[in-house]
Structure 1
Amino acid sequence: MAKKKFSKNWVNQHIQDPYVKLAQQKGYRARAAFKLLEILDSEKLLEPGDVVVDLGATPGSWSQVARERLKRSDGSINGQIIALDMLEMEPIAGVEFILGDFREDSVLRTLEDKLQGKSVDLVLSDMAPNLTGVASADSARIAHVCELAQDFAARHLKPDGALIMKAFHGSGFSQIVQNLKTQFVKVVERKPKASRDKSSETFLVARGLKA
């Protein structure tokens, strides 16, 4: 019964959420779009001509934001956006989608074929693991997902490129930040207004690969 009540409360909060309403008005697939918009504006990231890779992209709101930023007046894309996910994603005009797990060599090869030798300006990762509620297991899963995004960025970013990655405050968070600092010149934490107060999610922005 308690679980049913909890889910009903969540649905009510979700329906009343101003960012959910705003996302519907603006045609974004998820309220997460506003988190990325705030980070891009505060960090002055994503310019016409950029190459963007969106990891864990489904349902696609971050790719929608990237498309808006790179769209020419005729609707074509000034740059390149490649989205990956293990779940299907409804097509977005101008966004190339790869279905698969980027840890697999075959999926990485597909991505590299699409990049045609180009390095990436911006890696986006809104990925989150399925959480169990067991703190020690969850912190290990979160760290693993962050590590995957960091490794991918380190291999594919331009020297002055950037990574925007979701992490969660709690056990292991400081270690995730420390790991980023070993590879990037600048690492900052961002908690956008659209991120719910109750949520421990924090976005890490890492810039400038160390030689």
Structure 2
Amino acid sequence: MANNKALGTGGRKSDKDLKIRVKTAKGRKVASTKWLERQLNDPYVARARSEGYRSRAAFKIKEMDEKHKLFKKGMHVVDLGAAPGGWSQVAAAAVGSTVEKPLVVGIDYLDMDTIPGVILLKKDFTEDDAPAMLIDAMGGHGADVVMSDMAWPTTGHRATDHLRIVHLIEIAADFAIQVLKPGGSFVAKVFQGGTEHELLHMLKRHFSTTFHVKPPSSRKDSAEAYLVAKGFKGRQEPETEL
């Protein structure tokens, strides 16, 4: 008895049937195979390629901007941990940054190809002289948005990884408070476990609104989310205990 598949009458294949399967090649780890399979089946990876973005991460900041109105024409933006450059690409287009008048400055210790309208610094942001280099590259302008997609390579130890990402957020937030104009915004990657109470308290003192966001393009099985702080009040003096 002929089956429906042979006769071509089985109807539309399910999404599961249409997924690309990747065989584990000799010398390739199972984890690498799974990552490759996920990339090949990720619609955001395909969209990034077709729309000229350097990574799927570009859609995360794009979605956050669409919902929370982070960028306006003429704004100055700093991108911490910019590689491969997707966030800088989105910001440059949104603020109208050009080669003649660059409004976006990005920094990363990894090599990046040039992006029109973006000043790129090859430097580890955690090094002591990195903030001064960024301020110099900004040409005396304050920032309207400081954004950070920085993350350390994970160790597999949950508590350690949490402390490491909190440290990155802290130094990014300290920099943002130094350079933001009143009304400015700060965006930073966080992971499951949330933001440390002291850090969140500090941000609430300096910003009108502070909240967590998980944009649609952030994978559902990922622990990542983003901390968004808007309405910078200007540098506030630390609270003193009585």
Cα separation, 2, equivalents of 1:21 and 1:30: 10
Q: Which ranges of 4 or more aligned residues in structure 1 deviate by more than 6 Å?
A: none
Q: Tell me, yes or no, if the aligned pair for 1:81 and 1:94 is still in contact at 8 Å.
A: yes
Other-structure match for 2:64: 39
Alignment coverage as a number of residue pairs: 207
Return the match for 1:100 from 97, 107, 123: 123
Q: Distance in 2 between matches of 1:80 and 1:19?
A: 27
Change in Cα spacing, 1:79 to 1:100, as seen in structure 2 (3 Å) is closer
Query: Quick one: structure 1 residues 177 and 64, their matched pair in 2 at CA, closer, same or farther if it must change by over 3 Å?
Result: same
Aligned-pair Cα RMSD in Å = 2.0
1:127 aligns with 2:150: yes
Q: Which has the larger radius of gyration?
A: 2
Any conservation in 1 of the 2:146–2:180 contact (CA below 8 Å)?
Answer: yes
Consecutive unaligned residues in structure 2, runs of 5 or more:
1-23, 237-242
- Asked if structure 1 preserves the Cα contact closer than 8 Å seen for 2:44 and 2:56, the reply is yes
Alignment partners' CA distance in 1, 2:127 and 2:180: 19
- Could you list the runs of 5+ residues in structure 1 that have no partner in the other structure? none
Give the match for residue 54 of structure 2: 29
Q: In structure 2, which of residues 40, 43, 59 is the aligned counterpart of residue 18 of structure 1?
A: 43
Q: In structure 1, how many angstroms separate the alpha carbons of the residues matched to 2:196 and 2:127?
A: 28
Q: C-alpha separation between the residues in 1 aligned to 2:76 and 2:211? A: 22
* Contact 2:166–2:196 under 8 Å retained in 1: no
Taking the aligned partners of 2:102 and 2:69, their CA distance within structure 1 comes to: 17
Between the aligned partners of 1:179 and 1:167, the Cα distance in structure 2 is 16
CA gap of 1:178–1:77, structure 2 versus 1, over 3 A, is farther
Distance 2:220 2:49 in 1: 21
Alignment TM-score, normalising by the size of structure 1: 0.90
Give the C-alpha shift of residue 207 in structure 1: 1.2
Partners of 1:76 and 1:136 in 2: how far apart? 43
The structure with the largest helix share of the pair is: 1
Q: Tell me how far apart the structure 2 counterparts of residues 77 and 20 of structure 1 sit (CA, whole Å).
A: 31
How many percent identity over aligned positions? Answer: 41
